[in-house]
């Protein structure tokens, strides 16, 4: 999907890096493929809400190399989903994601491979954030390192009671490299981002809400007798924003995206173009014919 007609070429494809940056996707894919295990599973539902599951429970849902490739492929599938409106990103087996698979990290710890992996994941997560779907990370258990970065590649974050988001990079002698620092600054401001990264702070739901990282707290079964399953709670939470026809919901996401990423004049022109796709379109004409009141 092209984000908008006015984004620069490399943003139009959703990617940050291409061959002009010396990035060769096929080359790094071949390398990543050697580190297998786990999967990224995609379930597209009739409701227009898809569920993306990080699935590598024996390693606390750490990202193997093949899972990085899976992620990129799932994002491509979501970019080509005309009926899509929303996306929930969750981890399997009651935990979110413990970041990069440390076995793969050790094997590609040289400078060159590290840069390539970094560019690959930045591209994939930037495209995830730029999907014309309203996305939410459902954090249950731990979101560590790259897992914490992944949560920032969604529009919203929901945390189950007792969960933790932690940018542990400093403890690994690293900084975020999957775009998580840049996105974190946008979400919580540079002061809070500096505290979270500099202190490798454990963000619980209360702190997350206070600093604006987290948009809602869900009750786990353990806490609230009879509480709905977390995925159901997340779907209910998201459905208030995805109610309506897909072209309208996608247009909502696109105008916000252009406002977030583009300088004002460009964002305004892009908004005009996106407006043009919904003006006089079926949902608009239907609403006009029904003389709906907004009481």
List interacting residues with ligand BCO (CB under 6 A).
Answer: 59-60, 62, 98-103, 105, 142, 144-146, 168-169, 172, 174, 177-178
Residue 168 or residue 246: which is nearer to ligand BCO going by CB?
Answer: 168
Smallest separation (angstroms) from ligand BCO to the CB of 152 = 12
Exposed e or buried b per residue across 145-167, where buried means at least 16 C-beta atoms within 10 angstroms of its C-beta: bbbbbbbbbbbbbbbbbebbbbb
Residue 38 or residue 84: which is nearer to ligand BCO going by CB?
Answer: 38
| Contacts for 166 with CB less than 8 Å, ≥ 6 apart | 142, 143, 144, 145, 148, 200, 201, 202, 203
Residue 77 or residue 222: which is nearer to ligand BCO going by CB?
Answer: 222
Residue 111 or residue 265: which is nearer to ligand BCO going by CB?
Answer: 111
Residue count (the chain): 295
Name the residue with the smallest CB distance to ligand BCO.
99
Smallest separation (angstroms) from ligand BCO to the CB of 114 = 9
Q: How far apart are CA 186 and CA 180, in angstroms?
A: 10
Smallest separation (angstroms) from ligand BCO to the CB of 188 = 19
Smallest separation (angstroms) from ligand BCO to the CB of 99 = 2
CA angle at residue 256 from 254 to 260, to 5 degrees?
A: 115
What number of helices (H) and strands (E) belong to the chain?
12, 9
Structure tokens at 293: 């009141």
Smallest separation (angstroms) from ligand BCO to the CB of 146 = 3
Q: How far apart are CA 110 and CA 98, in angstroms?
A: 21
Residue 106 or residue 293: which is nearer to ligand BCO going by CB?
Answer: 106
């Amino acid at each position: 999907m092209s984000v908008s007609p006015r984004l620069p070429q490399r943003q139009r494809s959703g990617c940050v890096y291409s061959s002009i940056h010396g990035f060769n996707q096929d080359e790094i894919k071949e390398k990543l493929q050697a580190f297998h295990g786990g999967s990224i599973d995609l379930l597209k539902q009739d409701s227009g809400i898809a569920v993306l599951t990080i699935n590598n429970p024996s390693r606390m849902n750490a990202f193997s190399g093949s899972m990085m490739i899976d992620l990129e492929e799932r994002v491509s599938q979501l970019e080509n989903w005309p009926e899509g409106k929303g996306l929930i990103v969750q981890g399997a087996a009651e935990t979110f994601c413990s970041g990069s698979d440390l076995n793969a990290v050790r094997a590609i710890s040289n400078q060159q491979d590290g840069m390539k992996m970094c560019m690959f994941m930045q591209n994939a997560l930037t495209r995830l954030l730029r999907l014309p779907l309203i996305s939410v990370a459902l954090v249950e258990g731990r979101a560590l390192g790259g897992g914490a970065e992944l949560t920032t590649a969604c529009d919203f974050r929901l945390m189950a009671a007792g969960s933790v988001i932690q940018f542990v990079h400093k403890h690994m002698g690293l900084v975020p490299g999957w775009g998580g620092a840049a996105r974190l600054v946008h979400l919580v401001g540079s002061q809070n981002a500096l505290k979270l990264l500099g202190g490798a702070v454990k963000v619980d739901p209360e702190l997350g809400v206070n600093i604006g990282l987290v948009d809602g707290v869900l009750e786990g079964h353990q806490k609230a007798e009879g509480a709905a399953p977390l995925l159901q709670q997340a779907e209910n939470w998201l459905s208030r924003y995805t109610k309506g026809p897909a072209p309208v919901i996608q247009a909502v996401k696109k105008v916000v995206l252009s406002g977030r990423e583009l300088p004002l004049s460009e964002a305004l022109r892009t908004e005009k173009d996106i407006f043009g796709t919904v003006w006089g379109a079926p949902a608009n004409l239907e609403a006009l014919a029904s003389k709906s009141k907004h009481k």
